[in-house]
Chain A
Amino acid sequence: MEEIIRLELNGKKTEMLLEPNLTLLWVLRNKFGLTGTKYGCGMGFCGACTILIDQEPVRSCTLPVSDAANKKIVTIEGLALNINLHPVQKAFMEHDALQCGYCTPGMIMNAVGLLLKNPEPSQQDIIKGMEGNLCRCGAHVRIIKAIQTAGAEMKGGK
């Protein structure tokens, strides 16, 4: 049975008639056109679909949309403020912390979630926090550095 699902999506209040068991990943991509969030495995093993729900990084590929109802969702498209990139996005660019770019949105969202919880993560904290996000191109060393840089910038209040 369809019902009205309300989401606060990238700062905007939305409502849509949806079956509550639809997968959040497909709702974001196909109903809202937010294709920055990627499918990688559909089972929560790779992290390509990571988004923030109430500031927590969540795997959208295994989550029914009803679980996100009335919550604040941020996807990769909602991270930048107008033309100003989020410090994590900027740091990924500066460190060239990507190759093919497919895992990148999930990496960035997970990293933002990590920094929100722990603004001064040690290298070990970053490795632990990012462990569930997979990158096949092998950009790991740069991603770690990018998160350190972004953390320092966010702490500096920039």
Chain B
Amino acid sequence: MKKIIANEKESLKSKERIGMRRRDFFKLLGGGIFIFFQPRDTFKLLELQAPQGRSLPTEFNAFLQIAEDGSVNCYTGKIEMGQGAITSLAQIMADELEVSFESVKMVMGDTDLCPWDGGTNGSQTTRSFSPHMRVAAAEAKTILLQLGSDYLHVPVSQLEVKDGIISDIKNNKSKVSYGELTKGKRIEKHFDGKPELKDYAKFKYVGKPYLHQDSRLKVTGEAKFSADIQLPGLLHARLLRPPSHGAKLVTADVSEAEKIKGIQVVHDGDLIAVLSDDRDKVDQAIVKVKAEYSFSETEVDDKTIFDRILKANSETNVIRSNGDLETGKKISDSLTESEFHNSYVAHATIEPHAATAMIEGDKITVWVSTQQPFRAQETIAREMNVPLEKVRIITPFLGGGFGGKSAHRQAVEAIKLAKITGKPVVVAWTRQEEFFYDTFRPAAVVKITSGMDKSGKITLWDYNTYYAGARGSDTIYDVPNARTTNYSGGSVHPFGTGAWRAPGNNTNTFARESQINIMASKAGMDPLEFRLMNLKDEKMIAVLKAAADKFGYTPARNPSGRGYGIACGTDVGTLVAHIAEVKVDKNTGHVQVIRVVCAQDMGLCVNPEGTTIQMEGCITMGMGYALTEEIQFQGGDIKNHSFDTYEIPRFSWVPKIDTVIMERNDQAPQGGGEPTIICMGAVIANAVYDASGARLYQLPMTPERVLTAMKKA
């Protein structure tokens, strides 16, 4: 029996982080072949993506197991929230191991079964995690072939593998399955080498379209989400919420709530909750709690926020500087100065935050709708003052995430109440609570001064982004005199903000690509030709051309009255170009998107079906922040409580959508969950201009704003 245990000291050092010791995995999972692996080169990426994040563990952060029954299980702390990782990771695994797609099982987001992981965000699952998983799978195959060679008494070079069966090329009756080889064995191997890309042409599953593997569960109602966990004695809880962010509880009177039969009231400092085995009862009881608050709110609202952002005491960070801005100004024939505004938007997942918490002896189990199961585990261990291994976080299916399920306040609330009441507790937020505690995409300002020469060549690009975040702020155009400055760090937001699908990039791409169209019109040029003239990046040129081909685009100076818009950008390693057609109702200001084409270069596309769905989803979701979505607020008081005042895209909005995935099979796979959304603000704004001559400098482009802009046109 072959046994390689790498660096026992290292693993002991990091066991606390992992939460569960390796030998416990074995106790639970029995025999087979285990390959532990660690995506080391994500260090850099993680630092960029999540400055709030902690360091990665020094050991492994995923492993795969080939069990005695021949099934292949991959245990990872990544979670499934609709993005389709459960399907695409299985495709990759099946290919590298040469097993059937059906035999691969992804075990995700359970802190007791899966090793530590930094969370599911930044479209990293495919581009950062999967290459390492592939290498681990290839390593497993090597070990299995060696075992097969010993078993069949044939050299490895004389063996072939198909669907998990190793056979002798010269004698097809001489064969053995992976399952048979692993029987009674426990082979452990750590792998932390650098992944190398292989010839994708040989793959059977990767690159082929696969439907969502979890869809049967989801169409039958069997799929469990965090509020669906049914436990004996389960109590439903509602908590007293302040009327606004910044309000402090002064007094509370719970006597009326206590009078309701079957209601248990918890009053523990600022934590006031009502609980019952009946959800209706807690809904009735919570409104009976009388509370007084003191207010010390920030004096700002959804109109004055932009001024506050510009006047804030910000840290400035120059991201790019090349050439000289003064020189750029001097050689420019015309200058364009613009200021773009973007509003706070909500994640508005249809599943609100939920957690079901249970304590058995000294063991805590919480089912949480979170993109960060391991961070939730840490938070709960800290809040409850228990060791990490006493906390198990299970992440069932997530009803949407988009960056909004990164905090886990609801899990802390549920476990605290479970501890106090001695019973399992579910905390499932109402839609109003969801809007109140959401970490909104931050409102932001972008100021650009740009210049070009007589021929339309961009000669100056001075780009200043305030509180959007730096992602997507760097110019994609070839400009000799350019500077990009990011302003952040001041206290500007009266409530929580956070990552929202392609953080920063929606605002930055809206600003940059609007400015480019403004310049193209000034130069008297078609906006596609203007872009092609100012781009050097061959990949970007190729996606623009692919989008134009698919659309059947013909050049024209804007506004042409056709209602065509164009925009391009990059996100998480992927390049996108969009062309849209809109109709603007000149009486009402209503914008109807007729058609959107998107071409995308994401390197190797693992699952074209899953990618297309993500692209369609991004286009559809992105129309919301472009046209209607905007948090209205007065200080810390969030005025939007539900979907009546916060309008997200509906069936009647949906345009004809065409997607093009560039064939780049020889290149490493890049992110697919976010890129297609980044252009939606700009492509619609540019199309509105082309249709009506109205230039919109603020998102969302509500009918009122469109009418106002049309008057200025």
Residues of A bordering B, CB below 8 Å: 19, 21-23, 26, 29-30, 33-43, 45-46, 48, 75-77, 79-80, 85, 89-90, 92-94, 96, 98-105, 108, 126-128, 130-131, 133-144
Known: A99-B613, A131-B650, A137-B617. A34 touches B350 (CB 8 A): no
Q: A85 touching B648 by the CB < 8 A rule? A: no
Q: Which of B222-230, B331-339, B455-463, B583-591 contacts A (4 or more CB under 8 A)?
A: B222-230
Is B657 an interface residue, CB under 8 A from the partner? yes
Q: What 1/0 mask marks residues of chain B from 202 to 237 whose CB sits below 8 Å from any chain A CB?
A: 000000000110111111111111011010000010
Nearest residue (CB) in A for B282 is: A26
Q: Which of B380-403 contact A (CB under 8 A)?
A: 397-402
The residues in B between 445 and 461 inclusive whose CB is less than 8 angstroms from any CB of A are: none
Question: How many angstroms between the C-alpha atoms of A119 and B349 in the bound complex?
Answer: 31
Complex CA gap A134/B352 in Å reads 13
A131 vs B653: C-alpha distance when bound (angstroms): 9
Q: Is the CB of A100 within 8 A of B651?
A: no
B278 at interface, CB cutoff 8 A: yes
> 18 extra interchain contacts, Cβ-Cβ under 8 A, other than A41-B643, A43-B644, A100-B400?
A30-B277, A45-B644, A75-B221, A85-B220, A96-B215, A96-B609, A99-B400, A100-B397, A100-B401, A101-B223, A102-B349, A102-B351, A105-B219, A127-B652, A128-B652, A131-B652, A135-B350, A136-B349
Inter-chain contacts of B632 with A (CB < 8 A): none
A139 touches B613 (CB 8 A): yes
Q: Are B643 and A101 in contact (CB under 8 A)?
A: no
Mark interface residues in B233-257 (1 if CB within 8 Å of A CB, else 0).
0001000000000000000000000
Does A100 lie within 8 Å of B351, measured CB to CB?
yes
Q: Once the chains bind, are B348 and A136 in contact (CB under 8 Å)?
A: yes
Q: Given that A137-B617, A138-B620 are known contacts, is A38 also in contact with B219, CB under 8 Å in the complex?
A: no
In angstroms, Cα B222 to Cα A130, docked, is 23
The CA-CA distance from A22 to B284 in the complex, in Å, is 10
B221 and A76 within 8 A (CB): yes
Bound form: Cα–Cα A98–B351 in Å: 14
Q: In whole angstroms, how far apart are the Cα atoms of A34 and B593 in the complex?
A: 38
Is B108's beta carbon under 8 Å from chain A?
A: no
| Leading 7 A-B pairs by shortest Cβ distance | A36-B221, A102-B399, A138-B620, A100-B82, A101-B218, A99-B82, A138-B617
The distance from the CB of A102 to the nearest CB of chain B, in whole angstroms, is 3
The answer to whether B428 has its CB under 8 Å from any CB of chain A is yes
Q: A142 contacts which chain B residues (CB < 8 A)?
A: 613, 616
Partner of B642, one of A43, A75, A137: A43
Residues of B within 8 A of A (CB): 81-84, 211-212, 214-225, 227-228, 230, 236, 277-280, 283, 348-352, 397-402, 428, 430-431, 609, 613, 616-621, 642-644, 648-654, 657
The docked-state distance in angstroms from the alpha carbon of A79 to that of B402 is 30
Considering the complex, give the chain B residue whose CB is closest to the CB of A75. Answer: B221
Question: In the bound complex, do residue B350 and residue A36 qualify as a contact, i.e. CB atoms below 8 Å apart?
Answer: no
Contact B227 A39 (CB under 8 A): yes
Distance in angstroms between the alpha carbons of A127 and B350 in the assembled complex = 19
A61 to B348, CA, bound (A): 18
Cβ B215 vs Cβ A92 within 8 A? yes
Given contacts A39-B227, A39-B428, A40-B350, whether A101 and B616 have CB atoms under 8 Å apart is no
Selected from A90, A103, A140, the residue in CB contact (under 8 A) with B649 is A140
Contacts of B211 in A (CB 8 A): 93-94, 96
- Asked if B430 and A139 sit within 8 Å, CB to CB, the answer is no
Known A42-B430, A89-B219: A134·B236 in contact at CB below 8 Å = no
**Once the chains bind, are A139 and B617 in contact (CB under 8 Å)?**
yes
The answer to whether B351 touches A104 (Cβ under 8 A) is: no
A137 to B347, CA, bound (A): 11
Residues of B contacting A108 in the complex (Cβ-Cβ under 8 angstroms): 219
CB-CB under 8 A from A139, the residues of chain B are 613, 616-617, 620
Residue of chain B at shortest CB distance from A36: B221
Q: Are B280 and A23 in contact (CB under 8 A)?
A: yes
A39 touches B218 (CB 8 A): no
A77 to B220, CA, bound (A): 6
| Cβ 8 A contact of B643, one of A19, A46, A104, A127 | A46
Would you mind naming 22 contact pairs between A and B with Cβ atoms under 8 Å apart? A19-B280, A37-B221, A40-B350, A43-B642, A45-B642, A46-B350, A77-B221, A92-B219, A96-B212, A100-B350, A102-B349, A103-B350, A104-B218, A104-B219, A131-B652, A133-B651, A134-B643, A136-B400, A139-B620, A141-B657, A142-B616, A144-B651
Chain A residues in 8 Å Cβ range of B616:
138-139, 141-142
For the complex formed, measure the closest distance between the CB of A22 and the CB atoms of chain B, giving whole angstroms: 5
A93 near B219: Cβ-Cβ < 8 Å: yes
> Given A100-B351, A141-B654, A142-B616, does the pair A93, B221 have CB atoms closer than 8 Å?
no
Say whether A22 contacts B280, CB under 8 Å. Answer: yes
B82 touches A26 (CB 8 A): no
- Asked if B279 and A98 make an inter-chain contact with CB atoms under 8 angstroms apart, the answer reads no
A95 CB to nearest chain B CB (Å): 9
Taking each of A42, A43, A96, A135, which has the highest tally of chain B beta carbons within 10 Å of its own beta carbon? A96
Interface centre among B222, B280, B616, B619 (most CB of A within 10 A): B280
Contact present for A134 and B613 (CB under 8 Å): no
Contact across chains for A102 and B651 when beta carbons are under 8 A apart: no
Q: Do the beta carbons of A101 and B399 come within 8 Å of each other?
A: yes
Q: Taking CB as reference atom, which chain A residue is nearest B619?
A: A138
> Is B400's CB under 8 angstroms from A137's CB?
yes
